[in-house]
Structure 1
Amino acid sequence: MRCRDVMWKGPITLAPEETAQDAVRKLKSADVAAIPVTDETGRYLGMVTERGLVRDVMAEGLDPKLTRVTLILDRGVPSCEPDDPVAVALKRMDEARSRWIAVLESDRVVGLIGTRDIRQAAREVDAHELHALTDAALLH
């Protein structure tokens, strides 16, 4: 299975000048827990996560209306390419201790993968393989 098979295609993004409050609104409206930050040319800069918002804004007492996402974006969130095996994405996520990975083509965000997306895809593959084994057993 490849990263393109499990990624959310064309995720919403944040611009560097947007605020933490903008980030929270976008997270809420998209019902996600992480949003990539891209510059004006679309180049990936890092990720803003719910966890980062709590730790970097709320815990520090910063004003979400004034705090720019460039101050709180996580540059440690890993990236991969669409044709990378999902195992590569998982390894990078584990190494970075991240629940998210940005999928990039030429430094441009084309997708986003969360650990939940990988688990769901694995369940679907397992279910399909189980059905195939059951069908094969019934034929013999």
Structure 2
Amino acid sequence: MQVEEVFHPGTLTCRSSDSLQEVASRMTAEQVGVLAVLEDDRIVGVISERDVVRAVAQSADPRTATADAFASHQVHTATFGEDTREVARRMLDAGIRHLPVKQGDAVVGVISMRDLLAVETWL
């Protein structure tokens, strides 16, 4: 199966200057575990629930600490046409649960480890 058959279209974002409180509120409202971090309308990182938990564990003030300070800046991506098993293998190797999905140069959505597990479970 290929990425474009199972990914979630649309990418939820936050600004790099958003507070962790704003990030957590957005994740809760949208019921997602990751946001793309934007600066000048380009993705500069991703921030996940794990990143927010890490910030709290380091005693960061969620009202003043920014998304940029705790985001992962090494952005891995999946692309249309990629095999879902290969994407799952890369995610496991990197220890990540979400990847932005690109079609050409445009980010068009997100694929999660849960999406990939569902593919394997229902095939």
After TM superposition, the score normalised by the length of structure 2 is 0.89
Q: 2:28 aligned with 1:28, yes or no?
A: yes
Structure 1 Cα separation of the partners of residues 38 and 103 of structure 2: 13
What SS does the aligned partner of 2:22 have?
Answer: helix
The answer to whether 1:14 aligns with 2:4 is: no
Residue identity opposite 1:89 in structure 2: V
Gaps of 5+ in 2: none
Map 1:18-97 onto structure 2 (within 5 A): 18-41=18-41, 43-55=42-54, 57-97=55-95
- Equivalent-residue separation in structure 1 for 2:14 and 2:100 (angstroms): 13
Counterpart residue number, 2:108: 110
> Which amino acid in 1 is paired with 2:48?
T
Shift of 1:112: 0.8
Cα distance change of structure 1 residues 49 and 122 upon mapping to structure 2, 3 Å threshold: same
Higher helix share: 1
- CA separation of 1:120/1:86 partners in 2, compared to 1, >3 Å: closer, same or farther? same
Identify the structure with bigger relative contact order (alpha carbons < 8 Å, sequence gap 6+). Answer: 2
Q: Which has the higher strand share?
A: 2
Instruction: Count the aligned residue pairs.
Output: 123
Give runs of ≥4 in structure 1 deviating > 6 Å: none
What is the distance in 2 between the residues matched to 1:11 and 1:66?
24
Aligned counterparts of 2:37 and 2:81: Cα–Cα separation in 1: 22
Identity of aligned residues (%): 24
**Corresponding residue of 2:99:** 101
SS of match in other structure, 2:15: coil
TM-score normalised according to structure 1 size: 0.79
Gaps (5+ residues) in structure 1?
Answer: 127-140
What SS does the corresponding residue of 1:14 show, helix, strand or coil? strand
SS at match of 1:25: helix
| Distance change >3 Å, CA 6–CA 27, structure 1 → 2 | same
CA RMSD in angstroms comes to 1.6
